[in-house]
Amino acid sequence: MKNKMVVVTSGYERFVHWALAISCLTLCYTGLGILFKELNFLGVIFGGLKGLVTVHDFMAVIFAISLVLAIAMWWKEAGIFVFPEDWEWIKAAGGYLWHLDHVPETGKYNPGQKAFFLTVALCGLLMVVTGFFMWYPEKLGGDLMDWVYVLHVLGFVVIFAFFFVHLYLGTIGNPGSVSAMISGKMELPVLRMLHPKWVKEMEHEGKLMIANDKK
């Protein structure tokens, strides 16, 4: 028997999320090629190092826009910790480090996801602000700019590492969750495991949207 599919994301949400993901990944790729002389060859597909810069500049704009949209869309659900329930989850490490029969229940997003959201939001804003001044370094002057470059790479260190955490947990680490990014639907059992409280609340309020299965 097929599991029930629940609608978890809207088309708009997925669009913003993909725009953010693709621009972020492209920025990491092009940034990597600029940062390491040994990786300058990553620019070959864009016609050389200058091409990497052009793509980085263009994607920066897409990234900045989708970041602002993403923050506006998610900060209420994912930007605020709710105590004590989130604290219980943190103490149990969300069940990711040792086996638990019952992972403490949290709202739509668990503290891990919230921490991730906040990190991306803050580091993303940091990248936009520092990147902007890297376009116009004369606005700040040499002494402050020295720190701007450090912060841009610091943000890169965090974002690049977090990207892989996110990729793992969103795909093979939590089978069944990647469909939220593709079709926007997730299987009910997976949802009950990952977002139990949210499912209960939605069921209680009668808002849980079960997708019409084409049976």
Report what 127 binds from ligand HEM, another protein, none; CB cut-off 5-8 Å by kind.
ligand HEM
If binding is defined by CB under 6 A, does position 202 make contact with ligand HEM? no
3-state secondary structure of 6: strand
If binding is defined by CB under 6 A, does position 121 make contact with ligand HEM? no
Chain position carrying tokens 């993403």: 70
8, 27, 70, 71: residue in contact with ligand HEM (rule CB under 6 A): 27
* Region 81-140 residues binding another protein, contact defined as CB under 8 A: 95-99, 101, 134, 137-138
Cβ neighbours of residue 52 under 8 Å, at least 6 residues apart?
30, 33, 34, 40, 42, 43, 46
Cα dihedral 18→24→25→27 (10° resolution): 140
Q: For 122, list phi and psi in degrees, rounded to 5.
A: -70, -45
Chain position carrying tokens 């602000």: 129
Contacts to another protein by CB under 8 A:
1, 3-4, 32, 34-37, 40, 49-50, 53, 95-99, 101, 134, 137-138, 142-143, 145-150, 153-154, 156-158, 160-165, 168, 172-176, 187-190, 192-194
Contacts to ligand HEM by CB under 6 A:
24, 27-28, 31-32, 34-35, 53, 56-57, 60, 63-64, 127-128, 131-132, 134-135, 149, 152-153, 156, 159
